[in-house]
Amino acid sequence: TRFWFSKIFSYDLFFSKVFVSHQLFLAIYVISRPPFCNHFQVKLKGPKKRADEGQPRRPDFWIETSGSISQICSFDADGHLSVKIANDSRPIIQRMVESFRNKFFPSGYPYSVNEGYLIYTQFRALQHFSSAALSVLSTQSLLFAAGLRPTPAQATAVSWIIKDGMQHAGKLICSNMGARMDSEPKSWRILADVLYDLGTGLEVISPLCPHLFLEMAGLGNFAKGLAVVAARATRLPIYSSFAKEGNLSDLFAKGEAISTLFNVVGIGAGIQLASTVCSSIQGKMIVAPLLSVIHIYSVVEEMRAAPVNTLNPQRTAMIIADFVKSGKVSSPADIRYREDLLFPNRIIEEAGGVMVGQPLKKIVKKPSTLRELKDIFPKEKFLISLKNKCNYMVLEQNASGEDALRGWLVAAFAADMKTAGQKSGVPMLYAAYERMESVFPFFLSELKMRGWHTDQFLDGNGRRYAF
Protein backbone atom coordinates (compact mmCIF):
# COMPACT_ATOMS: atom_id res chain seq x y z
CA THR A 1 0.00 0.00 0.00
CA ARG A 2 2.82 2.37 0.86
CA PHE A 3 4.43 1.57 -2.49
CA TRP A 4 1.32 2.43 -4.51
CA PHE A 5 0.60 5.60 -2.50
CA SER A 6 4.14 6.77 -3.18
CA LYS A 7 3.71 6.09 -6.90
CA ILE A 8 0.36 7.93 -7.04
CA PHE A 9 1.80 10.90 -5.14
CA SER A 10 4.82 11.11 -7.46
CA TYR A 11 2.62 10.95 -10.58
CA ASP A 12 0.28 13.59 -9.17
CA LEU A 13 3.24 15.85 -8.39
CA PHE A 14 4.62 15.30 -11.86
CA PHE A 15 1.38 16.20 -13.65
CA SER A 16 0.81 19.22 -11.42
CA LYS A 17 4.28 20.49 -12.38
CA VAL A 18 3.54 19.90 -16.03
CA PHE A 19 0.21 21.73 -15.73
CA VAL A 20 1.76 24.72 -13.98
CA SER A 21 4.61 24.85 -16.51
CA HIS A 22 2.11 24.73 -19.37
CA GLN A 23 0.06 27.61 -17.93
CA LEU A 24 3.22 29.66 -17.35
CA PHE A 25 4.34 29.02 -20.95
CA LEU A 26 0.99 30.20 -22.32
CA ALA A 27 1.08 33.34 -20.17
CA ILE A 28 4.61 34.21 -21.29
CA TYR A 29 3.80 33.44 -24.96
CA VAL A 30 0.69 35.64 -24.98
CA ILE A 31 2.59 38.54 -23.42
CA SER A 32 5.56 38.29 -25.82
CA ARG A 33 3.75 36.95 -28.89
CA PRO A 34 4.60 38.35 -32.36
CA PRO A 35 1.98 40.47 -34.13
CA PHE A 36 0.89 37.69 -36.46
CA CYS A 37 -0.32 35.44 -33.58
CA ASN A 38 -3.64 37.20 -32.92
CA HIS A 39 -5.48 33.86 -32.88
CA PHE A 40 -3.96 33.09 -29.44
CA GLN A 41 -5.46 36.31 -28.11
CA VAL A 42 -8.86 35.42 -29.56
CA LYS A 43 -8.83 32.03 -27.87
CA LEU A 44 -7.61 33.24 -24.50
CA LYS A 45 -9.11 36.71 -24.14
CA GLY A 46 -11.92 36.73 -26.66
CA PRO A 47 -12.42 39.07 -29.61
CA LYS A 48 -11.08 42.61 -29.36
CA LYS A 49 -12.72 45.49 -31.16
CA ARG A 50 -10.44 47.13 -33.71
CA ALA A 51 -9.56 50.74 -33.05
CA ASP A 52 -10.12 51.74 -36.65
CA GLU A 53 -13.46 49.95 -37.00
CA GLY A 54 -16.11 52.16 -38.48
CA GLN A 55 -13.59 54.43 -40.21
CA PRO A 56 -13.37 54.40 -44.04
CA ARG A 57 -10.50 52.20 -45.28
CA ARG A 58 -7.74 54.06 -47.10
CA PRO A 59 -7.57 52.90 -50.72
CA ASP A 60 -4.47 50.95 -51.85
CA PHE A 61 -2.55 52.25 -54.87
CA TRP A 62 0.46 51.43 -57.01
CA ILE A 63 2.39 53.01 -59.88
CA GLU A 64 2.81 51.34 -63.25
CA THR A 65 5.55 52.55 -65.58
CA SER A 66 5.67 51.92 -69.32
CA GLY A 67 8.46 53.68 -71.18
CA SER A 68 8.38 57.29 -69.97
CA ILE A 69 4.70 57.25 -68.86
CA SER A 70 3.76 56.53 -65.25
CA GLN A 71 0.19 55.70 -64.18
CA ILE A 72 -1.22 55.71 -60.66
CA CYS A 73 -3.63 52.82 -60.17
CA SER A 74 -5.84 52.64 -57.09
CA PHE A 75 -9.03 51.09 -55.72
CA ASP A 76 -11.59 53.46 -54.24
CA ALA A 77 -13.79 52.70 -51.22
CA ASP A 78 -16.33 50.89 -53.41
CA GLY A 79 -13.64 48.63 -54.92
CA HIS A 80 -13.53 50.28 -58.35
CA LEU A 81 -10.17 50.61 -60.09
CA SER A 82 -9.15 54.08 -61.23
CA VAL A 83 -6.12 54.95 -63.36
CA LYS A 84 -4.56 58.41 -63.53
CA ILE A 85 -1.53 59.74 -65.36
CA ALA A 86 1.15 60.75 -62.87
CA ASN A 87 2.20 64.36 -63.07
CA ASP A 88 5.84 64.64 -64.17
CA SER A 89 7.48 67.41 -62.19
CA ARG A 90 10.93 66.93 -63.73
CA PRO A 91 12.52 69.76 -65.74
CA ILE A 92 11.93 69.68 -69.48
CA ILE A 93 15.61 69.03 -70.21
CA GLN A 94 15.68 66.01 -67.93
CA ARG A 95 12.50 64.66 -69.51
CA MET A 96 14.02 65.04 -72.98
CA VAL A 97 17.18 63.23 -71.90
CA GLU A 98 15.16 60.41 -70.34
CA SER A 99 12.99 60.13 -73.44
CA PHE A 100 16.08 59.94 -75.69
CA ARG A 101 17.64 57.29 -73.47
CA ASN A 102 14.48 55.18 -73.44
CA LYS A 103 14.27 55.28 -77.25
CA PHE A 104 17.92 54.74 -78.14
CA PHE A 105 19.39 52.75 -75.23
CA PRO A 106 18.42 49.31 -73.87
CA SER A 107 15.99 49.10 -70.97
CA GLY A 108 17.78 49.32 -67.65
CA TYR A 109 20.81 51.11 -69.10
CA PRO A 110 23.59 51.29 -67.84
CA TYR A 111 23.08 48.24 -65.61
CA SER A 112 21.73 45.99 -68.39
CA VAL A 113 24.84 46.19 -70.63
CA ASN A 114 28.50 45.36 -70.29
CA GLU A 115 31.31 47.85 -69.93
CA GLY A 116 32.18 50.00 -72.94
CA TYR A 117 28.72 50.21 -74.51
CA LEU A 118 28.52 54.02 -74.27
CA ILE A 119 31.89 54.49 -76.02
CA TYR A 120 30.83 51.97 -78.66
CA THR A 121 27.57 53.86 -79.24
CA GLN A 122 29.22 57.27 -79.46
CA PHE A 123 31.65 56.20 -82.16
CA ARG A 124 28.93 54.20 -83.92
CA ALA A 125 26.86 57.37 -84.23
CA LEU A 126 29.86 59.29 -85.59
CA GLN A 127 30.61 56.46 -88.01
CA HIS A 128 27.11 56.44 -89.50
CA PHE A 129 26.99 60.23 -89.69
CA SER A 130 30.24 60.48 -91.69
CA SER A 131 29.36 57.47 -93.85
CA ALA A 132 25.96 58.87 -94.83
CA ALA A 133 27.39 62.28 -95.68
CA LEU A 134 30.12 60.67 -97.77
CA SER A 135 27.54 58.54 -99.59
CA VAL A 136 25.63 61.60 -100.77
CA LEU A 137 28.81 63.17 -102.17
CA SER A 138 29.79 59.97 -103.98
CA THR A 139 26.36 59.57 -105.57
CA GLN A 140 26.40 63.15 -106.82
CA SER A 141 29.84 62.57 -108.32
CA LEU A 142 28.64 59.44 -110.11
CA LEU A 143 25.79 61.32 -111.71
CA PHE A 144 28.15 64.10 -112.73
CA ALA A 145 30.38 61.50 -114.37
CA ALA A 146 27.37 60.12 -116.23
CA GLY A 147 26.78 63.55 -117.74
CA LEU A 148 23.92 64.60 -115.44
CA ARG A 149 23.72 67.68 -113.26
CA PRO A 150 21.54 66.53 -110.42
CA THR A 151 20.51 68.49 -107.39
CA PRO A 152 21.62 67.20 -103.97
CA ALA A 153 18.10 65.91 -103.28
CA GLN A 154 18.14 63.92 -106.53
CA ALA A 155 21.51 62.44 -105.59
CA THR A 156 20.04 61.30 -102.28
CA ALA A 157 17.11 59.55 -103.98
CA VAL A 158 19.23 57.85 -106.63
CA SER A 159 21.69 56.55 -104.02
CA TRP A 160 19.15 53.85 -103.09
CA ILE A 161 19.00 52.60 -106.70
CA ILE A 162 22.62 52.70 -107.88
CA LYS A 163 23.88 50.53 -105.01
CA ASP A 164 22.33 47.29 -106.35
CA GLY A 165 24.27 46.34 -109.53
CA MET A 166 27.71 44.89 -108.80
CA GLN A 167 27.00 44.62 -105.08
CA HIS A 168 25.41 41.21 -105.55
CA ALA A 169 28.65 39.70 -106.84
CA GLY A 170 30.55 41.10 -103.88
CA LYS A 171 27.97 39.70 -101.46
CA LEU A 172 28.23 36.21 -102.96
CA ILE A 173 32.03 36.18 -102.70
CA CYS A 174 32.13 37.49 -99.13
CA SER A 175 29.50 35.02 -97.92
CA ASN A 176 32.08 32.20 -98.04
CA MET A 177 34.14 33.79 -95.26
CA GLY A 178 31.61 33.50 -92.43
CA ALA A 179 33.77 31.27 -90.20
CA ARG A 180 36.62 33.76 -90.29
CA MET A 181 34.23 36.56 -89.39
CA ASP A 182 33.05 34.58 -86.35
CA SER A 183 36.65 34.22 -85.23
CA GLU A 184 37.69 37.85 -85.76
CA PRO A 185 34.53 39.99 -85.92
CA LYS A 186 36.36 43.19 -84.98
CA SER A 187 38.99 42.96 -87.71
CA TRP A 188 36.42 42.07 -90.34
CA ARG A 189 34.18 44.92 -89.26
CA ILE A 190 37.05 47.38 -89.74
CA LEU A 191 37.88 45.79 -93.11
CA ALA A 192 34.24 46.19 -94.13
CA ASP A 193 34.34 49.94 -93.54
CA VAL A 194 37.68 50.28 -95.33
CA LEU A 195 36.18 48.51 -98.36
CA TYR A 196 33.10 50.69 -98.17
CA ASP A 197 35.20 53.86 -98.16
CA LEU A 198 37.30 52.47 -101.01
CA GLY A 199 34.18 51.95 -103.11
CA THR A 200 32.90 55.39 -102.16
CA GLY A 201 36.25 56.93 -103.10
CA LEU A 202 36.07 55.40 -106.57
CA GLU A 203 32.66 56.96 -107.00
CA VAL A 204 33.86 60.37 -105.80
CA ILE A 205 36.72 60.54 -108.31
CA SER A 206 34.65 59.15 -111.20
CA PRO A 207 34.04 62.65 -112.70
CA LEU A 208 37.79 62.87 -113.35
CA CYS A 209 37.49 60.04 -115.87
CA PRO A 210 33.93 60.02 -117.26
CA HIS A 211 34.86 57.61 -120.05
CA LEU A 212 35.45 54.95 -117.37
CA PHE A 213 32.15 55.59 -115.62
CA LEU A 214 30.87 52.02 -115.88
CA GLU A 215 34.13 50.50 -114.61
CA MET A 216 34.47 52.94 -111.70
CA ALA A 217 30.86 52.54 -110.62
CA GLY A 218 31.05 48.75 -110.96
CA LEU A 219 34.24 48.40 -108.88
CA GLY A 220 32.89 50.80 -106.30
CA ASN A 221 29.68 48.85 -105.86
CA PHE A 222 31.59 45.56 -105.85
CA ALA A 223 33.66 46.79 -102.89
CA LYS A 224 30.49 48.01 -101.21
CA GLY A 225 28.91 44.58 -101.68
CA LEU A 226 31.81 42.96 -99.85
CA ALA A 227 31.52 45.58 -97.13
CA VAL A 228 27.77 45.10 -96.63
CA VAL A 229 28.05 41.34 -96.03
CA ALA A 230 31.04 41.68 -93.68
CA ALA A 231 29.34 44.46 -91.69
CA ARG A 232 26.08 42.54 -91.30
CA ALA A 233 27.78 39.24 -90.46
CA THR A 234 29.84 40.78 -87.66
CA ARG A 235 27.01 42.84 -86.17
CA LEU A 236 25.52 40.06 -84.05
CA PRO A 237 28.79 38.97 -82.33
CA ILE A 238 29.48 42.60 -81.43
CA TYR A 239 26.01 43.14 -79.98
CA SER A 240 26.24 39.82 -78.12
CA SER A 241 29.36 41.00 -76.30
CA PHE A 242 27.35 43.79 -74.66
CA ALA A 243 24.28 41.72 -73.74
CA LYS A 244 24.19 41.25 -69.98
CA GLU A 245 20.67 40.20 -69.00
CA GLY A 246 19.43 38.27 -72.03
CA ASN A 247 18.51 41.54 -73.72
CA LEU A 248 20.13 40.94 -77.11
CA SER A 249 17.01 41.89 -79.08
CA ASP A 250 16.67 45.13 -77.14
CA LEU A 251 20.33 45.95 -77.75
CA PHE A 252 19.97 45.23 -81.46
CA ALA A 253 16.82 47.34 -81.82
CA LYS A 254 18.27 50.33 -79.97
CA GLY A 255 21.56 50.09 -81.85
CA GLU A 256 19.75 50.14 -85.17
CA ALA A 257 17.69 53.11 -83.98
CA ILE A 258 20.86 55.10 -83.29
CA SER A 259 22.27 54.09 -86.68
CA THR A 260 19.11 55.23 -88.47
CA LEU A 261 18.99 58.53 -86.60
CA PHE A 262 22.55 59.51 -87.41
CA ASN A 263 22.25 58.22 -90.97
CA VAL A 264 19.43 60.71 -91.48
CA VAL A 265 21.46 63.49 -89.84
CA GLY A 266 24.47 62.58 -91.99
CA ILE A 267 22.39 62.65 -95.17
CA GLY A 268 21.21 66.11 -94.22
CA ALA A 269 24.79 67.24 -93.66
CA GLY A 270 25.80 65.67 -96.98
CA ILE A 271 23.07 67.56 -98.82
CA GLN A 272 24.28 70.81 -97.25
CA LEU A 273 27.89 70.06 -98.20
CA ALA A 274 26.92 69.08 -101.74
CA SER A 275 25.10 72.40 -102.14
CA THR A 276 27.97 74.54 -100.87
CA VAL A 277 31.55 73.44 -100.29
CA CYS A 278 31.38 70.24 -102.36
CA SER A 279 29.49 71.58 -105.35
CA SER A 280 32.75 71.18 -107.34
CA ILE A 281 35.05 68.21 -107.70
CA GLN A 282 37.83 70.13 -105.96
CA GLY A 283 35.69 70.52 -102.86
CA LYS A 284 34.83 66.84 -102.86
CA MET A 285 38.52 65.89 -103.11
CA ILE A 286 39.12 67.80 -99.87
CA VAL A 287 36.04 66.91 -97.83
CA ALA A 288 35.67 63.23 -98.85
CA PRO A 289 39.07 62.08 -97.46
CA LEU A 290 38.37 63.98 -94.23
CA LEU A 291 35.01 62.24 -93.80
CA SER A 292 36.63 58.90 -94.60
CA VAL A 293 39.29 59.41 -91.91
CA ILE A 294 36.60 60.24 -89.35
CA HIS A 295 34.63 57.18 -90.46
CA ILE A 296 37.53 54.72 -90.12
CA TYR A 297 38.73 56.23 -86.83
CA SER A 298 35.22 55.92 -85.40
CA VAL A 299 34.82 52.27 -86.34
CA VAL A 300 38.28 51.39 -84.94
CA GLU A 301 37.45 52.98 -81.58
CA GLU A 302 34.02 51.39 -81.73
CA MET A 303 35.53 47.93 -82.13
CA ARG A 304 38.17 48.48 -79.47
CA ALA A 305 35.43 49.27 -76.95
CA ALA A 306 33.55 46.00 -77.61
CA PRO A 307 34.38 43.29 -74.99
CA VAL A 308 33.94 40.21 -77.20
CA ASN A 309 33.72 37.18 -74.89
CA THR A 310 34.24 34.27 -77.29
CA LEU A 311 37.50 32.32 -77.53
CA ASN A 312 39.60 32.72 -80.67
CA PRO A 313 43.36 32.16 -81.08
CA GLN A 314 44.38 35.72 -80.19
CA ARG A 315 42.15 36.16 -77.14
CA THR A 316 42.97 32.66 -75.87
CA ALA A 317 46.71 33.38 -76.16
CA MET A 318 46.29 36.65 -74.24
CA ILE A 319 44.32 34.91 -71.48
CA ILE A 320 46.95 32.14 -71.18
CA ALA A 321 49.82 34.65 -71.18
CA ASP A 322 48.27 36.66 -68.34
CA PHE A 323 47.54 33.51 -66.34
CA VAL A 324 51.04 32.04 -66.74
CA LYS A 325 52.63 35.37 -65.86
CA SER A 326 50.51 36.50 -62.91
CA GLY A 327 48.15 33.65 -62.02
CA LYS A 328 45.14 35.86 -62.73
CA VAL A 329 42.42 35.40 -65.34
CA SER A 330 41.64 38.47 -67.46
CA SER A 331 38.09 39.42 -68.36
CA PRO A 332 36.92 40.45 -71.87
CA ALA A 333 36.99 44.08 -70.75
CA ASP A 334 40.60 43.71 -69.55
CA ILE A 335 42.01 42.63 -72.91
CA ARG A 336 39.76 44.50 -75.38
CA TYR A 337 42.18 47.42 -75.83
CA ARG A 338 45.18 45.08 -76.16
CA GLU A 339 43.83 43.11 -79.11
CA ASP A 340 45.73 43.52 -82.35
CA LEU A 341 42.97 44.33 -84.85
CA LEU A 342 45.35 44.77 -87.78
CA PHE A 343 47.34 41.51 -87.40
CA PRO A 344 45.15 39.24 -85.26
CA ASN A 345 47.05 36.04 -86.16
CA ARG A 346 50.36 37.09 -84.63
CA ILE A 347 52.11 34.59 -82.34
CA ILE A 348 52.31 35.57 -78.66
CA GLU A 349 55.54 34.22 -77.18
CA GLU A 350 54.38 34.69 -73.56
CA ALA A 351 51.58 32.16 -74.22
CA GLY A 352 53.96 29.45 -75.44
CA GLY A 353 54.28 30.64 -79.04
CA VAL A 354 51.36 28.43 -80.07
CA MET A 355 50.21 28.28 -83.68
CA VAL A 356 46.80 26.64 -84.00
CA GLY A 357 44.88 25.46 -87.05
CA GLN A 358 47.81 24.30 -89.16
CA PRO A 359 47.35 21.19 -91.35
CA LEU A 360 48.32 17.99 -89.56
CA LYS A 361 50.30 16.89 -92.62
CA LYS A 362 52.55 19.92 -92.15
CA ILE A 363 53.46 18.76 -88.63
CA VAL A 364 53.57 14.99 -89.08
CA LYS A 365 56.07 13.82 -91.68
CA LYS A 366 56.13 10.10 -90.85
CA PRO A 367 53.83 7.54 -89.13
CA SER A 368 56.08 7.15 -86.08
CA THR A 369 55.70 10.85 -85.31
CA LEU A 370 51.91 10.59 -85.46
CA ARG A 371 51.90 7.56 -83.12
CA GLU A 372 54.22 9.36 -80.74
CA LEU A 373 51.99 12.45 -80.61
CA LYS A 374 48.87 10.34 -80.07
CA ASP A 375 50.47 8.30 -77.27
CA ILE A 376 51.50 11.36 -75.24
CA PHE A 377 47.91 12.47 -74.49
CA PRO A 378 45.68 9.56 -75.62
CA LYS A 379 42.49 10.86 -73.94
CA GLU A 380 42.77 14.46 -75.09
CA LYS A 381 41.35 16.09 -78.21
CA PHE A 382 44.50 17.89 -79.24
CA LEU A 383 47.98 17.12 -80.53
CA ILE A 384 51.00 19.24 -79.57
CA SER A 385 54.28 19.34 -81.45
CA LEU A 386 57.13 21.39 -80.00
CA LYS A 387 59.33 23.09 -82.58
CA ASN A 388 62.16 25.58 -82.37
CA LYS A 389 60.35 28.69 -83.65
CA CYS A 390 56.82 27.90 -82.49
CA ASN A 391 54.69 25.14 -81.00
CA TYR A 392 51.97 23.60 -83.14
CA MET A 393 48.59 22.60 -81.71
CA VAL A 394 46.04 20.74 -83.83
CA LEU A 395 42.52 20.19 -82.51
CA GLU A 396 40.22 17.25 -83.07
CA GLN A 397 37.11 17.88 -85.15
CA ASN A 398 34.71 18.02 -82.17
CA ALA A 399 37.07 19.77 -79.75
CA SER A 400 35.47 22.45 -77.57
CA GLY A 401 36.83 25.65 -76.12
CA GLU A 402 37.83 23.80 -72.96
CA ASP A 403 39.89 21.33 -75.00
CA ALA A 404 41.68 24.20 -76.71
CA LEU A 405 42.40 25.81 -73.33
CA ARG A 406 43.82 22.57 -71.95
CA GLY A 407 46.14 22.11 -74.92
CA TRP A 408 47.21 25.77 -74.88
CA LEU A 409 48.05 25.59 -71.17
CA VAL A 410 50.17 22.47 -71.73
CA ALA A 411 52.07 24.20 -74.54
CA ALA A 412 52.56 27.35 -72.46
CA PHE A 413 53.81 25.45 -69.41
CA ALA A 414 56.13 23.37 -71.61
CA ALA A 415 57.58 26.50 -73.21
CA ASP A 416 58.06 28.00 -69.74
CA MET A 417 59.95 24.90 -68.59
CA LYS A 418 62.04 24.91 -71.75
CA THR A 419 63.03 28.53 -71.18
CA ALA A 420 63.97 27.75 -67.58
CA GLY A 421 66.03 24.75 -68.75
CA GLN A 422 64.22 22.31 -66.45
CA LYS A 423 63.29 19.49 -68.85
CA SER A 424 63.04 18.73 -72.54
CA GLY A 425 61.25 16.43 -74.96
CA VAL A 426 58.43 14.11 -73.95
CA PRO A 427 59.16 14.26 -70.16
CA MET A 428 58.69 18.01 -70.33
CA LEU A 429 55.27 17.55 -71.95
CA TYR A 430 54.24 15.07 -69.25
CA ALA A 431 55.31 17.51 -66.52
CA ALA A 432 53.46 20.36 -68.25
CA TYR A 433 50.37 18.18 -68.52
CA GLU A 434 50.42 17.39 -64.79
CA ARG A 435 50.78 21.07 -64.00
CA MET A 436 47.84 21.85 -66.28
CA GLU A 437 45.67 19.23 -64.58
CA SER A 438 46.38 20.75 -61.17
CA VAL A 439 45.34 24.31 -62.10
CA PHE A 440 42.68 23.75 -64.78
CA PRO A 441 39.58 23.45 -62.50
CA PHE A 442 40.38 26.80 -60.88
CA PHE A 443 41.32 28.33 -64.23
CA LEU A 444 38.08 27.21 -65.91
CA SER A 445 35.84 28.39 -63.07
CA GLU A 446 37.53 31.81 -63.13
CA LEU A 447 37.03 32.04 -66.89
CA LYS A 448 33.30 31.37 -66.61
CA MET A 449 32.96 33.76 -63.70
CA ARG A 450 34.65 36.48 -65.77
CA GLY A 451 32.07 36.01 -68.54
CA TRP A 452 33.99 33.97 -71.12
CA HIS A 453 32.14 31.46 -73.30
CA THR A 454 34.19 28.26 -73.17
CA ASP A 455 31.87 25.93 -75.07
CA GLN A 456 33.40 26.74 -78.47
CA PHE A 457 36.77 27.66 -79.89
CA LEU A 458 36.43 29.85 -82.98
CA ASP A 459 39.55 29.24 -85.03
CA GLY A 460 38.10 30.49 -88.31
CA ASN A 461 38.96 28.19 -91.17
CA GLY A 462 41.70 26.46 -89.18
CA ARG A 463 42.32 22.82 -89.94
CA ARG A 464 41.10 20.11 -87.55
CA TYR A 465 41.64 16.36 -87.61
CA ALA A 466 39.42 13.28 -87.13
CA PHE A 467 40.61 9.69 -87.05
Same domain, 240 and 276: yes
Measured in whole angstroms, how far is the alpha carbon of residue 226 from the centre of its chain?
24
Same domain, 274 and 407: no
Which of 81-85, 208-212, 229-233 ranks highest by mean pLDDT? 229-233
Same domain, 133 and 280: yes
3-class DSSP state of 73: strand
Measured distance CA(31)–CA(334) in Å, rounded: 60
**438 pLDDT more than 90:** yes
**338 pLDDT more than 80:** yes
| pLDDT given at position 313 | 93
Q: What residues make up the domain containing 99?
A: 62-104
With respect to residue 283, please indicate whether it lies within any of the assigned structural domains.
yes
Same domain, 295 and 149: yes
pLDDT by residue (tens digit) across 253-266? Answer: 888 899 989 999 99
With respect to residue 1, please indicate whether it lies within any of the assigned structural domains.
no
Confidence at 246, pLDDT banded by 50, 70, 90: confident
| pLDDT given at position 107 | 66
Q: Identify whether the C-beta of residue 288 lies closer than 8 Å to the C-beta of residue 208.
A: no
Same domain, 77 and 125: no
Same domain, 443 and 351: yes
Q: Identify whether the C-beta of residue 363 lies closer than 8 Å to the C-beta of residue 385.
A: yes
Q: Identify whether the C-beta of residue 250 lies closer than 8 Å to the C-beta of residue 113.
A: no
Measured in whole angstroms, how far is the alpha carbon of residue 240 from the centre of its chain?
4
With respect to residue 2, please indicate whether it lies within any of the assigned structural domains.
no
Overall number of domains in the chain: 3
With respect to residue 354, please indicate whether it lies within any of the assigned structural domains.
yes
Confidence at 62, pLDDT banded by 50, 70, 90: low
With respect to residue 158, please indicate whether it lies within any of the assigned structural domains.
yes
pTM value is 0.70
Between 127 and 101, name the one with better pLDDT: 127
| pLDDT given at position 152 | 63
| pLDDT given at position 158 | 53
Same domain, 224 and 340: no
pLDDT by residue (tens digit) across 132-146? Answer: 888 778 877 777 776
Complete DSSP assignment for 271-327: HHHHHTGGGSHHHHHHHHHHHHHHHHHHHHHHHHH----EE-HHHHHHHHHHHHHHS
| pLDDT given at position 215 | 76
With respect to residue 458, please indicate whether it lies within any of the assigned structural domains.
no
| pLDDT given at position 149 | 57
Of 82, 104, 126, the position where a domain reaches its end is 104
Same domain, 382 and 321: yes
| pLDDT given at position 43 | 38
Between 92 and 355, name the one with better pLDDT: 355
| pLDDT given at position 265 | 92
| pLDDT given at position 376 | 87
**18 pLDDT more than 50:** no
Same domain, 216 and 241: yes
Which residues contact residue 34 at a Cβ distance below 8 angstroms, ignoring those fewer than 6 apart? none
Which residues contact residue 427 at a Cβ distance below 8 angstroms, ignoring those fewer than 6 apart? none
Q: Give the residues across from 73 on adjacent strands.
A: 62, 83
Same domain, 71 and 136: no
Of 305, 331, 354, the position where a domain reaches its end is 305
pLDDT average, residue stretch 249-256: 88
Same domain, 133 and 228: yes
Q: Identify whether the C-beta of residue 88 lies closer than 8 Å to the C-beta of residue 95.
A: yes
Same domain, 241 and 362: no
With respect to residue 4, please indicate whether it lies within any of the assigned structural domains.
no
Strand order in the sheet with 61-66: 61-66, 69-75, 81-85
With respect to residue 42, please indicate whether it lies within any of the assigned structural domains.
no
Measured distance CA(361)–CA(173) in Å, rounded: 28
